[in-house]
Amino acid sequence: MNTKHFIVNNYKKDRRGKMDKKGLIRQIILVSDGESNVGINPIEVSKKAKELGITVSTIGIVNNRTKEKPLAEIQQIANQGGGIWEITDLENFSKTMEMLTVKTVHKTIQEAVNKELKNILGEGLEDFNPESRRKIIDVIDKFGEEVDIRCCIVIDLSGSMTNKISIAKKSIVNLLRTLKQRKGKTEIAVIGFPGTDYEFYKTICDFTEDIDELQKSLSNIATGGTTPTGPALKRAVEMLLGTAEVNKGMLAANIV
Instruction: Give the Cα separation of 31 and 192 in Å (integer).
Output: 10
In whole angstroms, what is the distance from residue 49 CA to residue 51 CA?
5
pLDDT in tens, 123-179: 777 788 888 878 888 877 777 788 889 999 999 999 989 888 998 999 999 999 988
Q: How many Å apart are CA 183 and CA 71, to the nearest integer?
A: 35
* 94-127 pLDDT per residue, tens: 888 888 888 888 788 777 777 777 777 777 777 8
pTM equals 0.82
3-state helix, strand, coil in the chain (%, to 5): 50, 20, 30
